[in-house]
Amino acid sequence: MPLRATDNPLVLPLLGLLLEQPRHQYAALAALRERYHHLRVRTSSVYTLVGSLREAGWIAPEGAEPVVFRLTEEGAKAFRQKVAADLADTDPASAARFVTALAYVGILDRATASATLTRRVEELRDRAAVLEKAVGAVGLPPVFMIETEFVASQTRHDIAWLESFITRVEDPAYPWPASP
């Protein structure tokens, strides 16, 4: 469990859902479970997280019972910052965060999205080069470095996909939801 509630992996998807439309806690819980199969969504975690995000000023209640929560201006700013940070983070342990942030890349303007993803590609290129060098440098039969070869191949695939996506992002004909 993260030390700060705002570092919880459910923060980004929860803020994203509230950006789409204000929701009651249970509706947010149901939507998280429906849309984010790669995340572990527990009822108690979501309810606790809603309280923490409310305390942080990122969400606020509106209306009477049942209470519906909406994203605040501060929450929208934090959301954009978290999307950009998670898109740029190349730590393999943050792969699920990247996938979740990718779902919300449209919250960024095209230039920011392109620049952020380009930085990611540059870091991944460096990592792939290090991995590929390690495979041959150890002096062992290739099978003993097969996992490193696999990760290098996976990284090269990610680079190719990201480069293709960056090309689409930079194309004015590609639909983009965020205003410039």
What pLDDT digit, counting tens, does each position of 6-23 carry? 778 889 999 999 999 999
| pLDDT value, residue 142 | 83
Residue 17 CA to its chain's centroid (Å): 13
pTM exceeds cut of 0.75 = yes
Burial of 96 (0-12, 13-18, 19+ CB in 10 A): middle
Per-residue pLDDT averaged across 41-52, rounded?
A: 88
| pLDDT value, residue 179 | 56
Q: What pLDDT, in 10s, does the model give residues 82-121?
A: 999 999 999 888 888 899 899 999 999 999 999 999 999 9
Per-residue pLDDT averaged across 131-154, rounded?
A: 89
Asked if the model's pLDDT at residue 52 lies above 60, the reply is yes
Per-residue pLDDT averaged across 72-77, rounded?
A: 94
